[in-house]
Structures are given as C-alpha cells and as structure tokens.
Chains A and B, each alone.
Chain A
Amino acid sequence: MPVIIDTEKCGKIENCPGEGLCIKLCEEDALIEEAGDVVIISENCNDCELCIMNCPNQAISKVD
C-alpha cells in the first residue's frame, strides 16, 4: 500500500526544513518534485517507509 501526503502539513518544498528530504531519501523514484510540490508515483513505491519516518513535517502516512 503506497503512502499519502497531507499537503497542508507538507507545504511547498521551498518551505520544507529538509529541502525536500523525502525526495532525496527515496531510492525508488516514488517521490518527485512537480511545480514545487512533492508528488507520489505510487507504482514505484516499495513501502520502505523511509519518507514517513524522516519527514520533518510528519506529513507522510500510509493508507490503511
């Protein structure tokens, strides 16, 4: 089950304390930048949850 991003908590990448840390951490290219926002490419996600664990805004979670 892929992850979801709470866009309100996330804000724009320019406001992220980790400067888009989730994108940098993801090795499966499941998180990419699109017009300053983080976008999920679900089919690439391998459920490793590194993004969930390391998001400085706790904006990423899993769909139950």
Chain B
Amino acid sequence: MKSITREGDENRSLTHNNDKCIGCGICTSICPTKSIKNGPILPIARGLVDMDYININKNSCCLCGLCASVCPVDALEFKIDDKNIKEMDTYPKWDKDAKIDTEACVHCKACETACPQDAIKVARTLPRREDLVLGEIEVDQDKCINCKICEELCPGDAITVKQTGRETYETVVDEDKCVYCLVCKRACPTDAIKAVCSSCVYQDTKLDPEKFKTSGNIVLNPDSCVNCGWCEEICPVDAAKVTKPFEGEVIFDEEMVCKGDSCHACLDVCPCNAVSITEGHSEIDKRFCILCGACANVCPQKGIQIKRTKINLDNIRSKSWQNRISSLTTGK
C-alpha cells in the first residue's frame, strides 16, 4: 500500500492497494496530470519482478481523486478529511455489483471453484445419511467366520472385521455409513448377516424431505471480486447476479499475427480468466471479460482493441470529469 497525502484547507489522501490492483492502466490513462505510470505489468503478473503495478508521482499528483473514482476494482482509495469519496454524494458512484442469493443457492460450490479471484467461499453441511435411508442390519457373530468378504465388498466402507483376541473376531457395521444395499448379506457364505432395506417402502411416510437438503453459508468477498461474471454464468440455479463495470466488446485486429502459446501475455494478465489460447490464437470469452484493457496494454502485437460503449458509473457531476471519463468509452 502506497499513499500520497497533502494537507491544506482539506486533508486529502490517495492510497493504492496493489493486492487489489489488476494492472489495467485505466488510472494511468485518465490522470489529468499524467502522474501515474504503469509498471512492467506482464513481468509483475508473472511474478518475475516484485513491484507495484503502478507508480504515482507524488510531486505532480494534484489529488483530484479521478483515478480512484474510475478504478474498476477499487484498488485506489481517495479520502478527503478521512472520508472516502465513494461515500460522498458529490462524487461518482459505480453501478457494478456481484450478489449471490443465499436462498436460491444449492451450495454446489461451482462458483467457488470457478471464481478467478477466490472471492467466494461456500461452507456447507450435508444431510445426515440416516435421514436419507431406512433399514436394519445385524451380524450373527456365532455364524460369522471372519472371512472379510463383506468388508472388502462394502461400497460404503461401513464394515470392519475387528480382531478382539487371539482367535476371536467381531464384525462391526457402522450404521452411519451403511445404506442397506444388501451386498454383504448376499455375498456372506454363512448367511451371518441379516439386513433389510425399507427406504423405498417407507419413503413417503417415514422420510422427511426437509432433512434431505444441504444447508450452508455462502460468502462473496467484495474486496477481491472483480465482477467478471463467472459465478453468474456457472451457477446452475441462477443464484448469482453480476453487473459489470463496462459494456462493449473486445476486437482482435484481423491483420495481427497472434503468437499464441509462445507469448500468452494476455492470458497471464487477465484478472477474469477470460482468455484462452486456442489453436495458437488468443481467444477472449466475452461472458467473463470486464473490458479492463489489461490484455490490450501488454499485447506485443498491439492486436487487441477494447471498445467500451458504456461505463456504469453514475453521478458524474463535474463537466470536466465527464469529458475525461468519456475518454474510456470513446477511446479519445
């Protein structure tokens, strides 16, 4: 974390959090005093050099807060008299968001696995097995010859043949694991196992469907989320909703000769896991792209163009800020 502060009628401070920063360079392009410079984005993303993605010149920075207002991942924080401008009515507000409906969520963990920023954590409690099956099982220890056929066969690892003395054994069934499949009963050479499955017979009367459900908690950490849309795309029950910071498209220059697997700079810097190299050419999946432009900046062939048509930033009251911010959508 690096901060720039200046005291006057107001105390202003700008703080860059490199852990949140994705190296997109939007702040660099928007700074009215050209006080922000991009670091070596690709070597940083690949972990080859230990530097911050951006450098802010504290002598020329005018502490206007424009960079913090447009940063799509909130990596820059601007405070006036210790108050974040994001909480002030006079400053722009992002209409970007990611939400997971905890009521609709079935705790399948698809989003947790897919999230490229590890921003989602699912903690779940499975239903108890005894609430899902009904039955009875008993081993006649006198008939049992301790052959362990049942132990080897049991698909649920519910049976153990324990040695209790020099020549004595006991065959124990763990009823938390047994699902009364009756494989042991059928295979037992001495008919020592008595078992019955009544799950089907009593499924409508003795089993409670409320107890079949997996319960749990799902937490989406807004500090790591980049609103890429993976959770929304992958969720099988439409419980995730994402509003991205920008709308528009990515265009590959048709003349460009993509070096694919020998370069893959775009893939390494993409914070959204939206890039893949397919048949030697970079491909960007628009479903997951947030149009941040990090890939376009590192492409040595300069073959990627980000065409933003809309920025979901509201309440831009200053005309000069409006002009400046419109450069993100017009490219000028």
Footprint of B on A, CB under 8 Å? 18, 21, 24-25, 27-28, 46-50, 52-54, 56
Contacts and interface: CB of A to CB of B under 8 A. Distances in A.
A27 to B, nearest CB: 5
Interface residues of B, number: 16
B42 interface: yes
B40 interface: yes
A25 B42 contact: yes
Interface stretch (B10-18, B80-88, B259-267, B315-323): B259-267
Interface string B237-267: 0000000000000000000010101111100
A60 B174 CA distance: 69
Contacts of B48: 18, 21, 24-25
B40 A54 contact: yes
3 nearest A-B residue pairs (beta carbon):
A48-B259, A49-B300, A48-B263
B149 interface: no
A3 B48 CA distance: 22
Do most interface residues of chain B lie in helix, strand or loop, or is the interface mixed?
A: loop
Nearest to A46: B262
Nearest to B264: A27
A28 B261 CA distance: 10
A18 B49 contact: yes
Given A25-B48, A49-B301, A18 B262 contact: no
Contacts, number: 46
B262 A54 contact: no
A56 B300 contact: no
Interface of B: 40, 42-43, 46, 48-49, 257, 259, 261-265, 298, 300-301
A26 B49 CA distance: 15
Contact of A50 (B49, B257, B265): B265
12 contacts: A18-B48, A21-B48, A24-B43, A25-B48, A27-B263, A46-B259, A47-B257, A48-B300, A49-B301, A50-B42, A50-B263, A53-B298
Given A27-B262, A48-B262, A50-B42, 13 more contacts: A18-B49, A21-B40, A21-B43, A25-B43, A25-B46, A46-B259, A46-B262, A47-B257, A47-B259, A48-B263, A49-B301, A50-B263, A54-B42
A28 B46 CA distance: 16
Contacts of A54: 40, 42-43
Contacts of A50: 42, 263, 265, 300
Counting chain A CB atoms within 10 Å of each CB, the highest count among B261, B263, B265 belongs to B263
B263 A56 contact: no
Nearest to B263: A48
Contacts of A46: 259, 262-263
Contacts of B49: 18, 21
A28 to B, nearest CB: 5
Contacts of A25: 42-43, 46, 48
Contacts of B300: 48-50, 52-53
Contacts of A48: 259, 262-263, 300-301
A43 to B, nearest CB: 14
A21 B43 CA distance: 8
Contacts of B264: 27
Contacts of A28: 262
